Structure 1
Amino acid sequence: MNAYFKPEGWLCDNPENIAALSSLAGLQEACAQGRILEARAIICDSAHNLIVDCGCIRGIIPKNECAIGIEEGTTREIAIISRVNKPVCFRVTEFRRGSDNNTYAILSRRAVQQQCIETYINNLAPGDIIDARVTHLEPFGCFVDVGCGVASLIPIDAISVSRISHPGDRFRTGQDIRAVVKSVDSYGRISLSHKELWGTWEENAALFHSGETVAGVVRSVEEYGVFVELTPNLAGLAEPREGVRPGQQTSVYIKSLIRDKMKVKLIIVDNFDAQYAVTAPPYFIEDNHISHWKYSPDGCCKLIETVFE
């Protein structure tokens, strides 16, 4: 039995997955082996069963097998409806002949999610760095698929050190990211963070030098100055300037980088309205686990850190 516990959509182009969907014999073999497959849900019928394009035939995921919690009433039906025209993972449980004399594969997504929680998610530890896919964005945070459609939330204040007004300032739906596990409860619910992956103050400050003029984004405007973001984990304070609004693009002159106070002093050269695509900078951490992260430099007057226990 395979154990592929990645966000939904990662398995679709896998050669073994494609081969299994190419023939009835392939699906029957996958059924016998208990393999996890993926295909696109094309219809949610009036009874909230999902109809899946299994290549050679159609598959049906009965309503209560569409997701963990549907049968118990703890998961809303929007979790089913929102899967239409998107990949879903499943295990083939049996084959039935319908009233139209066609053969249908009966599928279970819930069984795959349950296995994912029991053998993958429940074995995660604080500090583990995992793959995730952004599913939707809310003002309070970013929802991600951490494996087989199992959802988790990255709170807005855990996305980056530099403050943002909405997760859409950082991510887009469908984007593949990494996240850090903060905790896992007995129900398989994960608490996640993300800001640690974008590096410390020193790592980000090393990308810039005094005397340079660089690109930035206005994050907030205060009476005493304008906060301009240079990277997701580094922002500086520019002198007050009229007509500046949060969300505007800027070009800023770097006056100084003050390590012991974690300050970047800036002068706004220009500010303007523009919509640029959200592109994620590279992560500073490429390992699969982190036990401790300290954003602030040694000897700094302020301590910002995360300890994963």
Structure 2
Amino acid sequence: MFGYEPEGWRINRVENRAALHSPAALERAKQTGQILEGRAVLCDSRHNLMVDLGCMQGMIPREEGALGIREGTVRDIALLSRVNRPVCFTVTGFSGEGSNSTALLSRRAAQEACWQNYLSHLVPGDVLDARVTHLESFGAFADIGCGVVALMPIDTISVSRIDHPRERFSTGMDIRAVVRSIEGRRVTLTQRELLGTWEENAAHFHSGETVGGIIRSVEPYGIFVELAPNLAGLAECRENVSSSQQASVYIKSILPARMKVKLVIIDTFENTQKPKPPHYYFTDSHMDRFLYSPPTCSRVIETVFTEKNE
């Protein structure tokens, strides 16, 4: 929703720059409760964030730095990690006079407004914009509005399995995500449903072609090779092949009824590719269900979203 996007989206907008242009403009923003954005330039010894507003200095007191800081449910690293990055806020007041004037800001208030007016209305299946904030072995964390962070577990990032989210994402990458579940104020995300069905992905490949892929796992019965984030094929066993290598593979056959792609590995080499922005097949704002498997396949892989928020 416009006005509640991930941090960094509004900092260069005309209306944001105009509100930071002068003390009078900041006062008007205070009166209207407008959510603004500036760059945090310092976190002092008391963990107050100093923000460059252009016309004056701004300060976000520690307890106003994020939802959960005051209650102790969010650690102060959430504040320290914002230095040299955009932060959203509302203006709550001013202290000092003239050149010594400081605008008092609240990131917490901006996040609370985002939750009350936007995030609390989300239901499973809603599709939203997000920005990757950091990566862990178990999943990717993403800003879904005004610095409010949600988790995308590693097994929901794509149908093709990966060892670490850094194989798909980089910090700061803008992505789309589906709301998987909401428990209280904890939002869990998924992306695999946006990356296309088996048939949509397989349509880009044809028998007899030699294409690029990534080795995902080496098993006694064969080698799984990713052709796209939501499509993998099985190659015959071959020596000196290891997971995460790039590969050139020959496509022997594509079998929709069995949801299989049979491959032959031509060559393998070290993977030096950096994550690319995802390609999304689904572009609407909500989905009720996602059927990955082809209609002719007896094996059904499906996601059904329910609107029950716990």
When normalised by structure 2's length, the TM-score is 0.96
**Residue of structure 2 equivalent to 1:44:** 43
Distance of aligned partners of 1:133 and 1:164 in 2 relative to their CA distance in 1, 3 Å threshold: same
Q: Does 1:118 align with 2:122?
A: no
**Residue of structure 1 equivalent to 2:271:** 274
Distance of aligned partners of 1:281 and 1:122 in 2 relative to their CA distance in 1, 3 Å threshold: closer
Taking the aligned partners of 1:3 and 1:255, their CA distance within structure 2 comes to 48
Of residues 256, 281, 286, the one that matches 2:283 is 286
Cα shift at 1:119: 1.2
Conservation of the 8 A alpha-carbon contact between 2:256 and 2:296: no
What are the ranges of 5 or more consecutive residues in structure 1 without an aligned counterpart? none
What amino acid is the match of 1:291? D
Q: Does 1:178 align with 2:176?
A: yes
Of residues 291, 295, 303, the one that matches 1:298 is 295
What are the ranges of 5 or more consecutive residues in structure 2 without an aligned counterpart? none
**Residue of structure 2 equivalent to 1:156:** 154
| Equivalent residues in 2 for 1:212-227, closer than 5 Å | 212-227=209-224
Taking the aligned partners of 1:168 and 1:39, their CA distance within structure 2 comes to 28
What amino acid is the match of 2:274? A
Runs of 4 or more off by more than 4 Å in structure 1?
A: none
Deviation string 1:113-140 (CA, Å, 9 cap, x unpaired) is: 1111111111011111000000000000
Cα shift at 1:185: 2.6
Taking the aligned partners of 2:116 and 2:187, their CA distance within structure 1 comes to 13
**Residue of structure 1 equivalent to 2:11:** 12
**Residue of structure 1 equivalent to 2:164:** 166
What amino acid is the match of 1:155? P
What amino acid is the match of 1:36? I
Taking the aligned partners of 1:124 and 1:151, their CA distance within structure 2 comes to 14
Over the aligned positions, Cα root-mean-square deviation in angstroms equals 1.4
Indicate the SS of the match to 1:245. Answer: coil
Cα shift at 1:299: 3.1
Taking the aligned partners of 2:292 and 2:94, their CA distance within structure 1 comes to 55
Indicate the SS of the match to 2:90. Answer: strand
Distance of aligned partners of 1:3 and 1:216 in 2 relative to their CA distance in 1, 3 Å threshold: closer
**Residue of structure 1 equivalent to 2:135:** 137
Conservation of the 8 A alpha-carbon contact between 2:175 and 2:278: no
Deviation string 1:26-76 (CA, Å, 9 cap, x unpaired) is: 211111211100000010000000000011111000000000111111110
Cα shift at 1:3: 6.5
What amino acid is the match of 2:49? L
Indicate the SS of the match to 1:157. Answer: helix
Q: Does 1:202 align with 2:199?
A: yes
When normalised by structure 1's length, the TM-score is 0.97
**Percent of aligned positions that are identical:** 58
Conservation of the 8 A alpha-carbon contact between 1:3 and 1:36: no
| Equivalent residues in 2 for 1:247-258, closer than 5 Å | 247-258=244-255
Conservation of the 8 A alpha-carbon contact between 2:173 and 2:277: no
Conservation of the 8 A alpha-carbon contact between 1:122 and 1:184: no
